[in-house]
Amino acid sequence: MDYVIETLKSFNAKIERLERSGFAKKFENEVPEVMAKFESPINFQSHGDGNFTLGGKIESWVPDYNEDEIDAVVLTYRVLTQNNDRISLASLAKIYNSDWFPEEGMQRFNEAREKVNEYLDSPATVYFEDGWITIRSLMDIIIYGGLAHTNLKKERIFNSWVRSGASGFFKVEFMAALKFMLSYFKYFKELNEVTIQVIEYNKQLNADSGAVAPLPARRLG
């Protein structure tokens, strides 16, 4: 159990660091916005049912896009989402789905993780000719192609976004996704805090039966 407590505390320490970040403080109660302008001539085509396309040279940007602040958040985000890391969500899932773990706590963790995956696998607001791109794919391209430069294919895609002049729309969606993920990271931190309390309580009791106390109710704020 000592290893479990250490893992949960290490995860929480990362989240507390995220909460102190400039990005988290700036967008705690604000929504990132994108600015754009078209250069003449502009080609407007209506496709019916309210759908339309605009053609022409575009320039877009996010006034509050601070790369240093975002780099600091992404550094921790990568640790928490890479499956092989000791304190990733995948590692936490192994703890919360252990045989000894209370069913109530297991259910809360799995439900929250499922909501995270549903969000990441949902389509982004940016549409391409060959279809929608998922939020997960958009984040991967910006992180591993635009910020970390660790994937050549993703870097080429990111550079094409920059050249298109539409990168502001991708960046604002990326920032909104980071904001969403931060809210759930905080929730997982709260679950961990309760789990640590329960484990330490049971350790003090040193119960021969090995029974584990139930988790008290916690809600995502």
| Number of structural domains the chain divides into | 1
Residue 197: inside a domain: yes
> For residues 181 and 21, is the Cβ–Cβ distance under 8 A?
no
Residue 38: inside a domain: yes
Q: Which domain holds residue 43?
A: 2-205
* Closest CA relative to residue 177, chosen from 113, 99, 121: 121
d(CA 202, CA 174): 42
- pLDDT tens, residue order, the chain (221 aa): 889 999 999 999 999 999 999 999 999 888 888 887 877 666 656 666 555 555 667 788 888 888 899 999 999 999 999 999 999 999 999 999 999 898 999 999 999 999 999 999 999 988 777 778 999 999 999 999 999 888 999 999 999 988 888 889 999 999 999 999 999 999 999 999 999 998 888 777 765 555 555 555 444 44
Residue 216: inside a domain: no
pTM of this prediction exceeds 0.75: yes
Residue 214: inside a domain: no
Residue 17: inside a domain: yes
Residue 59: inside a domain: yes
Give the Cα-Cα-Cα angle 54, 135, 52 (nearest 5 degrees). Answer: 15
Residue 171: inside a domain: yes
